[in-house]
Structure 1
Amino acid sequence: MPIIATAAWSIPKKVADRFTREGSGLTRYASVFDGVEINSTFYRRHKTSTFARWAESVPDGFRFAVKIPKEITHTRAMKDIAEPFETFLEDIAPLGEKRGPLLCQLPPRLVFDADVLETAFKTLGDADDGPIVIEVRHKSWASAEALDLLKSYAIDRVLADPAPVWPADNFETPPKYVRLHGKPKIYYSSYTDEETRLFSKLLAPDGWCVFDNTASGAAIENALTMLEMR
């Protein structure tokens, strides 16, 4: 079954009664959802004890998708990333078998450069054999060369909404990772039931659908709606 999740685990008061009342915010979130996307790793490091505590707070079948730090994707622009990536892996190691895919979100300015990216992807693959998904925002990534390179390193493309590069009809097979940011107002706008149903039908059976329209609290509500559509 697909994992329906949100970016972070904040529960709005409006739907609080849908979750267990006991435990931490994450424990309550995990009483309903099977996974979550950790976005805070993009901005800062956390102690290994923090990841250990999170892992202990959720059931065995729960999974954490983890966003790769911006030092790697934005500051270094995917160049000379071996050292910070190793540090990142060490930090999140306590997640153990509860770790899901790593999310590599690239900045809008990052143009596809085959030489740079092949080196980067090899570095990622040599250091870790877990799944990686990538969300890109520069039109140059729409090329056949970019798609071939991603396939050769078994990196799955993210179907994002709004979709600056890869719209839904660009996927020959159901996407493994869908990130719904909200539109027309990114991070705020809620999805209609019909829109939610359409994305649910697009998703791969073993995929993830992450609602990232968290700024208004819509993410949890939309994710609950999609869960009910299973």
Structure 2
Amino acid sequence: MNRSARNTAMHDTLVGCAGWSLSSAHAAAFGNGASALQRYATRLSVVEINSSFYRPHRAATYARWASVVPAGFRFSVKFPQTISHQLRLSGAAPLLDPFLEAAQQLGGKLGALLLQLSPSLAYDGRVASSFLRALRRRTTARMACEPRHASWFSEAADAMLRTHDVARVAANPARFPLAAWPGGTRSWSYWRWHGQPRMYYGRYGEPALRKLAGDLAERDASGEAWMIFDNTADGSAVPDALCLQALLREKPDA
């Protein structure tokens, strides 16, 4: 890996977790704060709000979260399951307004919107384009999409995502070979590692994270890369995030 690639990864990769829960085993790695979110934000620069998938949050709640983190901190907010899984993007435009109006109370700390699709949702260019046009009429926020059906990993689907400036998530474990790598827009990238060998559980450990650091440096994209650890069920996300953060800060080889 060359020096410039490593420097790009170090400065442009934001590392965080799906949620800001901190176990007592890792609390000492973080600074002081009046809440878990404040303590989390002393070490990590981004967080994914997954609870918005299950239930709506009040605008005041988003505003409060934004008020307790540093200026450079960023949130990613997951779309509600009513949009992604129940309506399956079709006719979902009316539900965008209450979701976005609340999430936009994060202000400049709203870094991204995350749309995770059902594994059974096949690519339909008409439905997907209609949904994304409706979204783009309402917001210019960055957006990442994690499709989980094979039909989304095609040239047509990738071109459609690029048209709407949407990043296709690079996932681990990957259901299909292309799912391991970013797609869609090349302006930034969004990576989600869900745990292995069991979803949402288990440490990746330094060897896997060292390879990931290299992949992030060599990525085919400009701008930022967001790396989110979703292996939260047993508390593995936090140590993996801190380990990757340290690896990205290592001095490059001479």
Q: Give the equivalent residue in structure 2 for 1:208.
A: 226
- The 1-side partners of 2:96 and 2:182 are apart by 30
The question of 1:156 aligning with 2:167 is answered yes
The answer (yes or no) to whether the contact 1:110–1:138 under 8 Å persists in 2 is yes
The answer as to 2:66 corresponding to 1:55 is yes
Equivalent in the alignment of 1:43: 54
Which position in structure 2 is the counterpart of 1:188? 201
Give the corresponding residue for 2:211: 198
Check 1:123–1:226 CA distance in 2 against 1; reply closer, same or farther (3 A cut). Answer: same
Unaligned runs of 5+ in 1: none
Q: 1:113 to 1:182 in 2, by over 3 A?
A: same
Provide the rounded CA distance (Å) in 2 between the counterparts of 1:61 and 1:190. Answer: 28
Corresponding residue pairs, total = 230
- Offset of 1:41 from its aligned partner? 0.4
Separation (CA, whole Å) in 1 of partners of 2:101 and 2:181: 37
CA displacement at 1:180 relative to structure 2: 0.4
Structure 1 residue 201 displacement after superposition: 2.2
1:22 Cα shift?
3.0
Structure-2 residue corresponding to 1:227:
245
The TM-score, its normalising length taken from structure 1, stands at: 0.95
**Pick aligned residue for 1:104 from 99, 105, 115:** 115
Residue 37 of structure 1 aligns to a residue whose secondary structure is: strand
Measure, in 2, the Cα distance between the counterparts of 1:99 and 1:73: 20
Shift of 1:189: 1.7
The question of 1:79 aligning with 2:97 is answered no
Residue 164 of structure 2 is aligned to residue 146 of structure 1: no
User: 1:167 Cα deviation (Å)?
Assistant: 3.6
Asked if 2 retains the 8 angstrom alpha-carbon contact of 1:48 and 1:94, the reply is yes
Question: Normalising by the residue count of structure 2, what TM-score does the alignment of the two structures yield?
Answer: 0.86
Q: Which residue of 2 aligns with 1:177?
A: 190
How big is the alpha-carbon RMSD for the aligned residues of Structure 1 and Structure 2? 1.7
The amino acid that maps onto 2:24 is K
Q: Work out which of the residue numbers 28, 34, 39 in structure 1 matches 2:45.
A: 34
For residue 80 of structure 1, what is the amino acid of its counterpart?
G
What is the Cα deviation at residue 125 of structure 1? 1.1
Does the CA contact (< 8 Å) of 2:54 and 2:80 recur in 1? yes
1:90-133 deviations in Å (ceiling 9; x for gaps): 11121000001100000001000111111111111111111111
Cα deviation for residue 169 of structure 1 reads 5.6
Instruction: Report which stretch shifted further, 171-180 or 153-162.
Output: 171-180
1-side partners of 2:172 and 2:40: how far apart?
A: 24
Check conservation: 2:15, 2:45, Cα contact below 8 A.
Answer: yes
- Give the deviation of 1:70 after TM superposition: 0.6
Cα distance in 1 for partners of 2:29, 2:201 equals: 21
Return the offset for 1:59. Answer: 0.4
Kindly provide the amino acid, as one letter, of the partner of residue 180 in structure 2. Answer: A
The share of aligned pairs that are identical, in percent, is 37
Higher mean Cα deviation, 18-27 or 66-75?
A: 18-27
